A and B are shown apart, each in its own frame.
Chain A
Amino acid sequence: MDYRIEVEDLNVYFDEAQILKNINLKIHKNTVTSLIGPSGCGKSTFIRTLNRMNDLIDGFKHDGTVLLDGRDIYDPKVDVVELRKKIGMVFQKPNPFPKSIFDNVAYGLRVHGISDNNVIKEKVEESLKAAALWDEVKDKLDMSAMGLSGGQQQRLCIARTIAVNPEVILMDEPASALDPISTTKIEDLVHKLKNDYTIIIVTHNMQQATRVSKYTAFFLNGEIVESGLTDRLFIEPEDKRTEDYITGRFG
């Protein structure tokens, strides 16, 4: 089947606390999948499990399997650095480096050993164009990224992520810190990027989930209550709790 990521019976613990319970989810290639649910339901923990960012946290334990293209990403033979190159991540709060706009996008390339300046230049331009930021910054690539607006910074972070050609892009509420116009731009961008990348987006905003994603998974208290086609899930949810959540009865 055309699955990029397959998660089977995943349990995640931080010390003694169980954060994720028996998660099963398949992510289709080159589609957008939204993860929705109230705060603290485990959405962010879940996507951080997919690129092994949770490894950085003391007390992180898991069982179950996470397959990327059929290979277990927690296999001891897997190189975490290679994995994170394949699975990029965009964070909730834009986090450009305190470097120039150019150096931010070139960062991943340089880190992965590309030193040919022409290649880097080309790739930076291509990535900034793909992130719909090129026209706004092409004349000030030497300026610090910290001087950009929040929305521009977030698109820069997306450019930085796609510069290293990932297969998957994880987005952890990428628009929640942005104004409505910037949010629209990010959503348009997600639409455009799904042709080339598999995107998993955590969102608080249910309208956003319906606008951008083909599939949706609803998380509650560390479990997936329901997942499936976004249109189906929002129009005729199978579970009462899903219905309560999407109609705004809690959360």
Chain B
Amino acid sequence: MHRIISPKIAQNIMKALFWASGIITIIILIVIIGYILMKGLPVMSLSFLFSDPIDSGRAGGIFPMIISSLYVTLIAIIVATPLGVGAAVYLSEYAGESPIVKLIRFGAETLASIPSIVFGLFGLAFFVIYLGLGWCVLSGGLILALMALPTILQVSEVSLEAVPKSYREGSLAIGATKWQTIYRVVIPAGVPGIATGVILGLARAISEAAAILFAVGAALSVPISIFDPARPLPLHLYILATEGISLNNAYGTAAVLVILVLVITVVTNTLVERYSKKMMGR
């Protein structure tokens, strides 16, 4: 059989296709972020960042929304991290391969793929009404914790499993118990990966509007107690845009949200890198 195109040409075509895929991905990212920043940055000012909204957000700033976002996300991470990491430790260190393990993994995968609006509805029914928490920071934070949980679990499990067996053997051979080995050697070695999982979970939590739509209320003031209602940035953005209050301020809010996620990611990555460097000596 004759070749239609020579391997050398095929090689170049494929290389160009892969290159193009990469470039297109970057372009999409740049266009979205660029557009948001272009529209939003002119709105952003110190007073926009640090003052209360006036007239439902037509004017004024978004300070309470920034605090609300940080607040619900913090609660989500505080709740989801120990749960997710704990389950990951169980799966990677203790469980072996049994039906229950498969069930937990299947559960985590399914949890990750449930639409966020369904989480929202569940949150309303369970946290707000059944547990009687009401529309508040805590209800929103707990829903976001459920949403961040599978990501944290899955990424943590992979990173714990990537910790070399030789570390575990070295620790056990010196007379450490399994638990000592896990918390003194395996978890510290897995921290960079676990941190990545937490950041991914956090990014998911901080950008959610639908999931908390029915749970946090929509207060325009700064939440102090965890039982205060709040209005995180994505929700504010949604309300500004859908109720035609102020598209300009919606872009400003979006820009703040994007920058917030960026800052959190960069800071955490820097810390993780520093930790890895100290740990691995390079």
- CB < 8 Å neighbour of A85 from B175, B185, B189, B281: B175
Query: Known contacts A95-B166, A97-B185: does B279 contact A51 (CB below 8 Å)?
Result: no
Interface 9-mer from B151-159, B176-184, B226-234: B176-184
Chain A residues in 8 Å Cβ range of B175: 81-85, 108, 111-112, 164
Bound-state Cα–Cα, A108 to B173, Å: 10
Chain B residues in 8 Å Cβ range of A144: 278-282
Chain A, 40-82, contact with B by CB distance < 8 Å: what is the 0/1 string?
0000000000010100100000000000000000000000011
Chain A residues in 8 Å Cβ range of B278: 144
Which residues of chain B from 131 to 176 have any CB-CB distance to chain A below 8 Å in the complex? 164, 166-167, 169-176
Q: Are B170 and A91 within 8 A (Cβ)? A: yes
| A171 CB to nearest B CB, Å | 11
Q: Are B173 and A84 within 8 A (Cβ)? A: yes
Q: Are A107 and B279 within 8 A (Cβ)? A: no
Look across to chain A and name the residue whose beta carbon is closest to the beta carbon of B278. A144
Chain B residues in 8 Å Cβ range of A147: 280-282
Look across to chain B and name the residue whose beta carbon is closest to the beta carbon of A79. B175
Chain A residues in 8 Å Cβ range of B53: none
| A240 CB to nearest B CB, Å | 37
Bound-state Cα–Cα, A112 to B184, Å: 13
Q: Are A146 and B282 within 8 A (Cβ)? A: yes
Bound-state Cα–Cα, A95 to B185, Å: 12
Chain B residues in 8 Å Cβ range of A83: 175
| B164 CB to nearest A CB, Å | 7
- CB < 8 Å neighbour of A146 from B170, B176, B279: B279
Bound-state Cα–Cα, A157 to B282, Å: 20
Chain A residues in 8 Å Cβ range of B174: 84-85, 88, 107-108, 111, 160-161, 164
A175 at the A/B interface (Cβ < 8 Å)?
Answer: no
Chain A residues in 8 Å Cβ range of B164: 95
A180 at the A/B interface (Cβ < 8 Å)?
Answer: no
Bound-state Cα–Cα, A143 to B180, Å: 22
Bound-state Cα–Cα, A99 to B188, Å: 9
Chain B residues in 8 Å Cβ range of A148: 281
Chain B residues in 8 Å Cβ range of A145: 281
Bound-state Cα–Cα, A85 to B169, Å: 13
A35 at the A/B interface (Cβ < 8 Å)?
Answer: no
A89 at the A/B interface (Cβ < 8 Å)?
Answer: yes
Chain B residues in 8 Å Cβ range of A95: 164, 166-167, 169-170
Chain A residues in 8 Å Cβ range of B169: 53, 56, 91, 95
5 pairs from A and B in contact (CB 8 Å cutoff)? A53-B169, A84-B174, A98-B279, A144-B281, A161-B173
Q: Lowest 4 A-B CB distances belong to which pairs?
A: A147-B281, A144-B281, A85-B175, A95-B166
- CB < 8 Å neighbour of A143 from B177, B184, B281: B281
| A127 CB to nearest B CB, Å | 12
Residue tally, chain B, CB below 8 Å to A: 22
A93 at the A/B interface (Cβ < 8 Å)?
Answer: yes
Q: Are A111 and B180 within 8 A (Cβ)? A: yes
Chain B residues in 8 Å Cβ range of A108: 174-176
Q: Are B280 and A81 within 8 A (Cβ)? A: no
Bound-state Cα–Cα, A96 to B175, Å: 15
Task: Known pairs A147-B281, A160-B170; list 10 more (Cβ under 8 Å).
Answer: A53-B169, A81-B177, A91-B173, A95-B169, A97-B185, A98-B188, A110-B184, A111-B171, A146-B281, A164-B175
Chain A residues in 8 Å Cβ range of B170: 91, 95-97, 157, 160
Q: Are A99 and B166 within 8 A (Cβ)? A: no
Chain B, 179-211, contact with A by CB distance < 8 Å: what is the 0/1 string?
010001100110000000000000000000000
Bound-state Cα–Cα, A53 to B164, Å: 16
Q: Are B167 and A146 within 8 A (Cβ)? A: no
Bound-state Cα–Cα, A111 to B172, Å: 10
Look across to chain A and name the residue whose beta carbon is closest to the beta carbon of B170. A95
Bound-state Cα–Cα, A140 to B181, Å: 25
Look across to chain B and name the residue whose beta carbon is closest to the beta carbon of A81. B175
Bound-state Cα–Cα, A12 to B23, Å: 58
Bound-state Cα–Cα, A84 to B171, Å: 10
Bound-state Cα–Cα, A148 to B184, Å: 21
Q: Are A111 and B176 within 8 A (Cβ)? A: yes
Which residues of chain A from 96 to 146 have any CB-CB distance to chain B below 8 Å in the complex? 96-99, 107-108, 110-112, 143-146
Chain A residues in 8 Å Cβ range of B279: 98-99, 144, 146
Bound-state Cα–Cα, A15 to B167, Å: 25
Query: Known contacts A88-B174, A108-B174: does B180 contact A93 (CB below 8 Å)?
Result: no
Bound-state Cα–Cα, A56 to B96, Å: 12
- CB < 8 Å neighbour of A93 from B166, B176, B184, B282: B166
